[in-house]
């Protein structure tokens, strides 16, 4: 199945960064893989609270960020977390202000072209970018 492939990739990423492949890390990763939209830290803590300590969640999320396995997504109050492009493909988000739904959409090549223009104009080397839209989804408007 597909999940196994990503888990495999994750294990290699850990190894490459000299981090251990613990059950807690696998579970946290697999839990994140199952989410269809970004989660807050508290949501993640709740999702795995029977299998690991809160402190461990914090520490592992930090590690995951360090090795590039997870990305912060900013919508609403506190930031949320999701697996990085490496596991989910590059995409952006639209958050509906009415129902709170987060919809993902793919990168448009023409949008990327615009970003490169900006990059050149300012002598900036872009390593990543994030685009967040807010408004009303097709159900709510």
Partner DNA sequence: CGCTAATTGCAAGAAATTTGCAATTACAAG
Partner DNA sequence: CTTGTAATTGCAAATTTCTTGCAATTAGCG
Q: Which residues bind DNA (CB under 7 A)?
A: 14-15, 19-25, 41-42, 51-56, 58-60, 62-63, 78
Which of 74, 85, 89, 90 touches a copy of itself by CB under 8 A?
74
Residue 22 vs 108, nearer CB to DNA? 22
Asked whether 13 and 83 are in contact (CB, 8 A), the reply is no
Within a 13 Å sphere around the CA of 115, how many CA atoms are in the beta-carbon half? 13
In the complex, the smallest distance separating the C-beta of residue 83 from a copy of itself, rounded to whole angstroms, is 18
Q: Does 99 bind a copy of itself (CB under 8 A)?
A: no
Three-class DSSP category at 101? coil
Q: Does 116 bind a copy of itself (CB under 8 A)?
A: no
* 116 binding partner (options DNA, a copy of itself, none; Cβ < 5 to 8 Å by kind): none
In the complex, the smallest distance separating the C-beta of residue 98 from DNA, rounded to whole angstroms, is 21
Three-class DSSP category at 95? strand
* 119 binding partner (options a copy of itself, DNA, none; Cβ < 5 to 8 Å by kind): a copy of itself
Going from the C-alpha of 2 to that of each of 24, 87, 88, the distances in angstroms are: 21, 11, 12
What is the distance between the terminal CA atoms of the chain, rounded to a whole angstrom? 38
What are the residues facing 93 on neighbouring strands? 104, 132
Distance CA 117, CA 22 (A): 43
| Interacting residues with a copy of itself (CB under 8 A) | 72, 74, 78-79, 94, 97, 103, 105, 108, 110-111, 114-115, 117-119, 121-138, 141
């Amino acid at each position: 199945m597909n999940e196994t492939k990503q888990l495999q990739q994750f294990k290699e990423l850990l190894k490459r960064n000299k981090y251990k492949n613990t059950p807690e890390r696998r579970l946290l990763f697999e839990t994140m893989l199952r989410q269809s939209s970004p989660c807050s830290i508290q949501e993640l803590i709740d999702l795995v609270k029977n299998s690991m300590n809160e402190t461990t969640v914090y520490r592992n999320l930090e590690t995951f960020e360090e090795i590039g396995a997870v990305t912060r997504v900013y919508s609403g109050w506190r930031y949320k977390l999701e697996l990085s492009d490496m596991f989910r493909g590059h995409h952006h988000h639209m958050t509906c202000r009415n129902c709170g739904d987060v919809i993902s959409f793919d990168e448009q090549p023409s949008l990327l072209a615009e970003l490169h223009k900006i990059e050149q104009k300012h002598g900036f080397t872009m390593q990543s970018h994030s685009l967040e839209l807010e408004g009303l989804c097709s159900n709510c408007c």
